[in-house]
Structure 1
Amino acid sequence: MTEKRFAPDVLQHLFMAVEEDDYVDSQVSLPSVIDLSCSAEIVHSNYALCLQFWEDGVDREALLRLTLKQAVGDELSPVERMQYKYMRARFKHLRFAQRLYLRQHRAGFLFGKTTVYLGRFQDGFRNQKKDIITFYARLLRICLSAPAWRLMRYSLSHSRLASVEDFVAYRQGQIRTLKAYVTKPALTGREFHDVRKIISQQVSYYDTLRSIAPEHKEARQISRFLAAINGLMGDRHDVMVADDMHNRLSYDTPVALDDDIRQRLALLIERFPL
């Protein structure tokens, strides 16, 4: 891919959009029909911005230092927790970009694993589970080593992008999968998480799009609607993870979707051209 760079104000717009990804706005709705039109330039620009957002905002040595500090039992300060949160958010946003815009529609092996481990590690220190913290700290020490980092960066900048037709078809396939899940009366923790991942990928697309083109009002409207679903599901998923870690309720136990979440998902499916 040819390298494309964006001005600091574009990166700041994306940072602010990602910060709002779990904000529940009860007033926002969707356009009557979601426009799926796209271009090769949008696919290229969106991936380039997500890559720059990660490259400019993640410091390998600082992230490793935070991980090791927490692992030895030295609690992170509130400022350090925010630093960890922001760097993990950039990992997540780029992983969504890999699934959306790359030809194979999946994250690179090492990058994907690192993103997962960062999330599991955070679940561990949020719930004060020493064994989980220790286990994932060991894995992250490898993933965040200098040799692994070089491999990761090379893979990220030498990926092949999807065609416009494939990109649109992938998004439609996601919504079909979502539709199948929503017809179920109850979802296991893994199924619930799969639904949220679909929503998170879709909101990441519109967040990136509106950061490059702030005048794109429909992109902002859709991103705000999806962010509400993402926020509601995120709060619920945190409870499910904590319940499982503290042996209150297994993550594999099917649980009914909240009515508010189900209704919002149903509206998204209704307005999304399939």
Structure 2
Amino acid sequence: MTTRSTYPAAVLDAMFEAVEMDDVVDPVVSLPASIPVACTQEEMRRCLDLCIQFWRAGAIRADLRKLATTLLHTGDLPPDARIRYKHIRARYKHLRFALVLYGKPHKAPLLFRSTVAVMGHLQDAFRNRQRAAVLGYALLLRGLLIWPVWAAVQREVDAVRLDNAAGFLAFRRAEFARLKSWVLGKALTGHRFHAMRKVISRQVSFYDTMRTLEPDDQVYRMSRFLSAINGLMGSLHDELVEQASAGHRDYHKDDFPLPEDIRCRLEALTARYPLTAVDRSAAAS
């Protein structure tokens, strides 16, 4: 198994607090004077190590199996169990973002990303009281949690190879360039909107992890600005999913205009994000 840095409970608690705030909308937050983009490969490694430890500390297999079993039997979860499911899923999502960001392929491993996807579909299903979908996704989740698959997921995560700093910077710039082109579009489908939100969510996770490891005002402000966008987009996406579930919208085909409060924030972000300037720390790696 790969030897990784380990962090004390206080750091994991700070990571949890940051993740809990990653969709909280602060109406007065603004971008920092200079958007921080520098990240060395050593910082990337520390970020990934923290994200893996954070996941393993809270994504307990027995707890998730119990939640899936409850959903199989009842189709829903009581309030305290919903919160537990949300917290476990948040840890999975945070690690998925990290694997995409820092890993050389910039893609989460197959079994891991399949588990995250099934957890998301299952949450949508029980939130929208879709009993048949709950049954199907709960069964899939139980299958992904059997011991051989669980062990394979652990091996997948440990086998991820880090990109270098230059590759990481190039990946982020490509994401922001794509986001900028999408914002310039007149209308979006639910599917495209979800793709936009994933770019924002990945960036929130990066700045949340960085500010947990190395508190910095500029990084903190970037985290909070992105969190506001993430929260607004998340609420709208929940509405789109609910409308699609009720048959009122085709998630993949029907266009809708991007709300002005989201558009203004995205335009400010993409206008300010440095897409071409040379980053010395990346070039030196």
> Contact between 1:10 and 1:211, CA under 8 Å: does it hold in 2?
yes
Show the counterpart of 1:189. Answer: 190
Show the counterpart of 1:251. Answer: 251
Show the counterpart of 1:171. Answer: 172
Q: Distance in 1 between matches of 2:261 and 2:78?
A: 35
What's the CA shift string for 1:149-201, capped at 9, x where partnerless? 00000111121001000001100000011011101111101100000000000
Show the counterpart of 2:268. Answer: 267
Show the counterpart of 2:9. Answer: 8
> Contact between 2:75 and 2:135, CA under 8 Å: does it hold in 1?
no
> Contact between 2:36 and 2:219, CA under 8 Å: does it hold in 1?
no
Give SS of 2:74's match: coil
Q: Distance in 1 between matches of 2:181 and 2:137?
A: 33
Show the counterpart of 1:109. Answer: 110
Q: Which runs of 5+ in 2 are unaligned?
A: 276-285
> Contact between 1:36 and 1:168, CA under 8 Å: does it hold in 2?
yes
Q: Which runs of 5+ in 1 are unaligned?
A: none
Residue 51 of structure 1, CA deviation: 0.3
Show the counterpart of 2:144. Answer: 143
Q: Distance in 2 between matches of 1:248 and 1:233?
A: 19
Q: Distance in 1 between matches of 2:223 and 2:85?
A: 24
User: Which stretch of structure 1 is more off in the superposition, 111-120 or 65-74?
Assistant: 65-74
Q: TM-score, normalised by structure 1?
A: 0.98
What's the CA shift string for 1:211-235, capped at 9, x where partnerless? 1112x11111000000000000000
Identical-residue share of aligned pairs (%):
41
Q: Which amino acid aligns with 1:122?
A: Q
Give SS of 1:256's match: coil
User: Which stretch of structure 1 is more off in the superposition, 24-33 or 105-114?
Assistant: 24-33
User: Which stretch of structure 1 is more off in the superposition, 227-236 or 241-250?
Assistant: 241-250
Q: Distance in 1 between matches of 2:33 and 2:179?
A: 19
> Contact between 2:75 and 2:134, CA under 8 Å: does it hold in 1?
no
User: Which stretch of structure 1 is more off in the superposition, 24-33 or 8-17?
Assistant: 24-33
Residue 2 of structure 1, CA deviation: 3.0
Q: Which amino acid aligns with 2:232?
A: L
Show the counterpart of 1:89. Answer: 90
> Contact between 2:15 and 2:208, CA under 8 Å: does it hold in 1?
yes
Show the counterpart of 2:40. Answer: 39
Q: Distance in 2 between matches of 1:41 and 1:218?
A: 20
Q: Distance in 2 between matches of 1:172 and 1:219?
A: 17
The aligned runs of 1:53-72 (5 Å cut-off) are 53-72=54-73
> Contact between 1:193 and 1:237, CA under 8 Å: does it hold in 2?
yes
Show the counterpart of 2:221. Answer: 221
Q: Which amino acid aligns with 1:273?
A: P
What's the CA shift string for 1:109-156, capped at 9, x where partnerless? 000000000000000000000111011112111111111000000111
User: Which stretch of structure 1 is more off in the superposition, 89-98 or 74-83?
Assistant: 74-83
Give SS of 1:187's match: coil
Show the counterpart of 1:122. Answer: 123
> Contact between 1:31 and 1:271, CA under 8 Å: does it hold in 2?
no
Cα RMSD (Å): 0.9
Q: Distance in 1 between matches of 2:54 and 2:187?
A: 37
Show the counterpart of 1:25. Answer: 26
Show the counterpart of 1:242. Answer: 242
Q: Which amino acid aligns with 2:239?
A: V
Q: Distance in 2 between matches of 1:64 and 1:28?
A: 39
Residue 74 of structure 1, CA deviation: 5.7
Q: Distance in 2 between matches of 1:8 and 1:260?
A: 37
Residue 76 of structure 1, CA deviation: 1.7
Give SS of 1:128's match: coil
Residue 32 of structure 1, CA deviation: 3.1
> Contact between 2:243 and 2:249, CA under 8 Å: does it hold in 1?
yes
